[in-house]
Amino acid sequence: MPTPLQYLREEVGLAGTQWESLGADWHALGALWLRAETALCKSGRVDLTYQEISSSSIPDEWKDWMYAKLMRTDANRPADTFGQVFTEYLNGLPETTRANGGTIMSEVWCRPGRTGILGLLLCLYWQAEYSGAGNDWKVNLKVVEDIFNAILGQPDL
């Protein structure tokens, strides 16, 4: 995990008992995230501003977490319904977001750091932890995997 994000590893399910309990698919996604995160570091993109977060279409709980990380405070736990909210958000993304050579770089969160793709892992972790890691979680895991692969397929990274 990149040094600037080390302090977040347990909070997003990449260390501790969370890491152990989520299984091999989660471990593979964590490794893929690290590769995508490293690639995005070459993009020159920085953390989102408060205004960019506010005007984005990402789920409110994810926004609140980003605000908290920018202010270096603790974030609130998401509601039990967050898993459905996250599933609806992912389902609402254009298909071209997940395609190699597609529009992934136009997504507001397609950047490294606290306000970037780490949030996708956070949201998946929250879905598993607070909403039950059922079929939606497994489907969403694949969607996020496709997103990370689309990032890695960007020719200018």
Q: Please list the pLDDT of the chain residue by residue as tens digits (157 residues).
A: 888 888 899 999 999 988 999 999 999 999 999 999 999 999 999 999 999 999 999 999 999 999 999 999 999 999 989 999 999 999 999 999 888 888 999 999 999 999 999 999 999 999 999 887 678 999 999 999 999 999 999 988 8
Token pair 């698919």 is found at 25
Per-residue pLDDT at 131:
85
CB-based contact 76:122 (threshold 8 Å): no
What's the token pair of residue 136? Answer: 């939606």
Query: What is the Cα 78 distance to its own chain's centre?
Result: 15
Per-residue pLDDT at 133:
66
CB-based contact 139:86 (threshold 8 Å): no
CA pair distance 9, 19, nearest whole angstrom:
9
Q: At CA 46, angle to CA 57 and CA 40, rounded to 5?
A: 90
Per-residue pLDDT at 147:
97
CB-based contact 89:83 (threshold 8 Å): no
Per-residue pLDDT at 75:
92
Per-residue pLDDT at 155:
87
What b/e readout covers 50-83, taking b as 16+ CB neighbours within 10 angstroms?
eeebeebebbebbbebbbebeeeeebeebeeebb
Q: Compute the CA torsion angle 54, 36, 45, 48 (nearest 10 deg).
A: 20
CB-based contact 61:83 (threshold 8 Å): no
Per-residue pLDDT at 156:
84
Per-residue pLDDT at 90:
97
Per-residue pLDDT at 57:
96
Q: Which amino acid is at 1?
A: M
Q: Please tell me the pTM assigned to this model.
A: 0.94
